[in-house]
Structures are given as C-alpha cells and as structure tokens.
Amino acid sequence: MKRVENIELKALFEVSRVLTSSFNLEKNLYAVLEILSKELDMRRGSVFIYDRKAEEISIVTAYGLTEEEMSRGKYRIGEGIVGKVIETGLSMFIPDIEKEPQFLNKTGSRPDKKGISFLCVPIKIEEEILGVLSADRIYSEEKGNLDDDLRVLSVVASLIGQFIKLWESYKSIEDENLILRAQLKERYNFPNLVGQSPSFQAVLKTVMKVAATDATVLLFGESGTGKELIAKTIHFQSKRAKSPFVAINCAAIPEALLEAELFGSEKGAFTGAVKRVGKFEQANGGTIFLDEVGELPLSLQPKLLRVLQERTVEPLGSSKTVRVDVRIISATNKDLAEEIRKGSFREDLFWRLNVIPIYIPPLRERKEDIPLLVEYYLKSFANIYKKNVSIDNEALKILINYEWPGNVRELANTIERLVVMTDNNKIRVYDLPDTVRGVYKFKSSMSGELKLPTEVEELERIRIMDTLPKFKYNIRKTARALGLTERQLNYRIKKYGIVIKKGVNLYDSDN
C-alpha cells in the first residue's frame, strides 16, 4: 500500500512540474498523459476541451491515439460517456466498455474492447466545466484500485483545469500583444513619415536602409522634429520589432539616479537602493533609444562607451557583468562637435554613437511639407474627435509662412487644438492662434512685398476677422471696438468678402 501511495505522489509531483514548465498547451498535456501511462499504467489517455460557442467537446491532445483517431473524437453535450460527464459534471467509470452501449468508441482506437475499463472525470474550476480527462485501464488483482485511480485522476484534472485557465489568460494577452505589435508596425511605417521635400526624402531613404540592419544610429535635429518617431520606425521595421523598444530621456533624470536607470542596481548599492533592472537589460533583444544623449553626464559616458564596445552592463553595487543584445539609437539637439571642443562630451563615445548619422531638418527648411502634414493631422484628429474639418487656403498660407520654432510637434498640437475648438467645418484665419497670426501680420507689414494701400487693406481685413468672433459676430459691439460705425463695418465686411456665421444675432442689445 505504501509503495502505491509513493508511486501516486511521484506521478502527481511530475504532473505538477510539467504543467508549470511552460504555456505550451498540447506539449504539456501530452506529457501529463504520458506520466499517467508510464507511472500508473493508464492507457489511451485523452484531454477533451469544451467549446461553449460551438457546443462541442473535442480532443485537444491524447496519448496512444493517432492524429486521425483524435480528429474523430468529437462529442455533443450528453452524447456518449464524455458528453454525459460534461452534462452532469460528475465522474464516470465503465468496468467493461464492451458491455456498455453508451460507450461510442468514436475514435475507433479500440478494435478489441474486451476487458478494458474506462475512467472519465470532469476538468473544472469551481462550477465551471472546462473539459474532460479520460483514460483506459485494464484491472487485475495485483494492479490497480478504482477508488485510488478516480482520486488521482480528479487531482490531475484539477491541476489541468488551473493550467488551462492560466493558458487562456496567457493566450489572450499574447493575442492582444500580437494585435498591438501589428498596429505599432503599421503606425511606425514609412508611409506615416510625411514629407515630399528633398531633405526629408533623403532622411526617409536612409531610414529605409538602416532599418534592416543592426547599425548604431545617431539622430540630429531640433526639438520637435520627430526624432523619436524616426527611432520607433527604425525599430518596428527591423528584425527586432517583436522585442522591446525602450526609450529614456537622458536630460529628464537626475544624474544621481541616471546610472541606476540605465544600468540597473543591486539592493543596498546606495542609500535607499533596491534591486532594479536597468533600461539596457529591459531592452535586451530589442532597441534602446537614448534621447538627449548630449546631456549625458561626463561621469557616465565611459560606462556607455563600454556597453557599446563590450555589449555588457554592470549594475550598481554588483561585481558581475550582464551581457545584453541591444541596438542603440541616440538623439540630440546639440552640436556634439562643439560639446567635444568644450570638453563636455567624449570624442571616442561620439564616434561610437555616430556610425549612421541622420540629420532631421526643421520644419522651416521644408515648408513644402507643411500642407501634407496639415492634411495628415487634420484627418487624424478629425477621426479621433469625430469631426469633419478642413482648412481654407488663406489659413493654410499663414501656417506655411509661420516659422514653427516647435517644429512638427508644435504643428500637430496646433492642428489638434483647431480641430477641438472650431465650431465650423472649415478652419479660417480668425481660428488660428494669436502667435501664428501675429507673426504673419508682422512679417506682412514689414515685407514690402505689397503696395501700401493694399497692405493697409490686408491688415484691416485681418483685424476685422480677428475681432468679429470675440464679440460673437455682433456688428454693433465689433464696430464700437474697432472705432467704426456700423455702416462702415458692414461696408468693409462686404468689400473683403468676410463670411458671417449663420444663425447669429448681428444687432442684439448690449445686455
């Protein structure tokens, strides 16, 4: 008796070990059935999964059956022994399948049914039935005990039930990750890098070339030019796309903490230190993006240089090195050659980072791209905010002439604000932010490109268009604010073709 118990405990231990080894459903369940066969002499084991949508029970894996036999093992609720177990949620034992009419032998795996017993137990978590575990058994006086077998199978079925639940959660997350990765790959694709100017097309050509390699890339450009977008596009169009993309802004983290953030730390490495996995380890197999690398403290530059040379990191407080497989993309808005001359950036580190330099031009150097970008962001934000919005040519001209010190980021933010705030389907001059219009008006008045009378009329027209919305298109209040009579204002509105919003009361009272 003691020996039998030991065998059962050993079998249960092995089953538990196998089910916690991975999330490979079929491989793990097959290994469980193999243990039951070899350790407890249970033959032709099968695991059935209940598909609630199809209302069908089918074999997911089996031991001692061929692929063809497994494909035939499908049951409806209440059909055969397997269907009865699903229907009742109770275990069933058939002493001799040859004498049991409910035993359907759909798989055809038992041509000689004489003397074979059949055990079938539900796989369930609390009251939810997930499937069925079954096994054949040939009993003799020396071998086997029904109660023991049912008890062991019930424990195994319970372990399988927990594993299936965990596997379902894992599969759901894995499927979601695949969808998200596909969306990221689509989002950070070459068509989403908008621009037709020669300077931006040169950037795009370089990005397409380097994406297929593991070369280290250094992105130059002013703030807001889209350096992180370029970095993400390189990553998600590379062979590393399924691995992490980890970004860190070297200027945003205090120097005292930056080393631990980048390279990790052991508990007690400094006051309050906990065990931390650094960004390089987090990015293992993928890409790390070092934004504002020109702000990296001089004291940390040798450690970064070592990572680039040796592909190893040494966490703070540890004497062990950790090997990492990462692609490094860095970015800066500083002139690193000037920083080297000042002694604030190491020349050897610069040459390690500068394998493939990519200069991203500011928006003022590629004004022909502004109409494309405006159209792109209008469509994007109109879709997000469920609006149908376009822009008139006059407003677009002002956007093209604006210098955009914040580059593409400023343009995107401006278009989003316009889409959110506009009450019309068309963005006009008076909808634009004061900063954009102010610069335009100043440039127009100082340019000398227009004759003085024409320039005065242009300024007058813009001033009227600016003031009307502030007073909700009320003629009386607008005229008073501009120092005009109502008649004079009406004349100028007609002269300049200024459109008044429909449905407003042009002459309501001052109250």
pLDDT averaged over 10-residue windows placed end to end, the chain, 511 residues: 70 88 89 88 86 87 87 87 89 81 73 76 88 82 67 90 88 75 62 82 92 95 92 93 93 89 81 79 95 94 93 87 94 94 94 95 92 92 92 90 91 93 84 74 48 73 80 87 89 83 56 43
User: Rounded distance, CA 282 to CA 310, Å?
Assistant: 17
Give the amino acid at 42: M
395 neighbors 432 (Cβ within 8 angstroms):
yes
Interacting residues of 422 by C-beta distance below 8 A, sequence separation 6+? 387, 389, 431
- Give the pLDDT score at 44: 81
At CA 468, angle to CA 466 and CA 473, rounded to 5? 155
User: Rounded distance, CA 409 to CA 249, Å?
Assistant: 17
Helices (H), 406-451: 407-421, 434-447
Could you give the count of Cα atoms lying within 13 Å of 381 in the half-sphere of its Cβ? 20
223 neighbors 409 (Cβ within 8 angstroms):
yes
* Beta bridge partner(s), residue 245: 287
Token pair 């080894």 is found at: 21
User: Rounded distance, CA 364 to CA 403, Å?
Assistant: 5
**Long-range contacts made by residues 48-55, C-beta under 8 angstroms, separation at least 24?**
48/73, 48/75, 48/82, 48/131, 48/132, 48/133, 48/134, 49/130, 49/131, 49/164, 50/86, 50/129, 50/130, 50/131, 50/132
- Give the pLDDT score at 289: 97
- Give the pLDDT score at 106: 76
The CA-based dihedral angle spanning residues 292, 295, 300, 302, taken in that order and rounded to the nearest 10 degrees: 80
Angle, in degrees to the nearest 10, between helices 255-263 and 301-310: 10
462 neighbors 452 (Cβ within 8 angstroms):
no
The DSSP annotation for 451-494 comes to: -HHHHHHHHHHHHHHHHHHHTTT-HHHHHHHHT--HHHHHHHHH
At CA 399, angle to CA 394 and CA 402, rounded to 5? 125
**Residue 72: how many other CB atoms lie within 10 Å:** 15
- Structure tokens given for 36: 């039951």
Residues of the chain with CATH 3.40.50.300: 188-361
Interacting residues of 418 by C-beta distance below 8 A, sequence separation 6+? 389, 391, 427, 431, 432
Nearest Cα neighbor of 247 from 301, 290, 185 is: 290
210 neighbors 217 (Cβ within 8 angstroms):
yes
User: Rounded distance, CA 225 to CA 412, Å?
Assistant: 11
Q: In whole angstroms, what separates CA 264 from the centre of its chain?
A: 24
Question: What fold does the segment set 2-170 form as a domain?
Answer: Beta-Lactamase (3.30.450)
User: Rounded distance, CA 77 to CA 82, Å?
Assistant: 8
- Give the pLDDT score at 66: 85
User: Rounded distance, CA 8 to CA 148, Å?
Assistant: 9
Arch. (CATH architecture) of 188-361: 3-Layer(aba) Sandwich (3.40)
Residues 200, 202, 204, 206: is their CA dihedral positive or negative? Answer: negative
- Structure tokens given for 129: 């039935």
Q: Which CATH class is domain 365-496?
A: mainly alpha
- Give the pLDDT score at 138: 76
* Beta bridge partner(s), residue 98: none
Cα 131 to Cα 52, 259, 290, 493, distances in angstroms: 10, 52, 50, 77
82 neighbors 132 (Cβ within 8 angstroms):
yes
- Phi/psi for 220 (5° steps) reads -105, 145
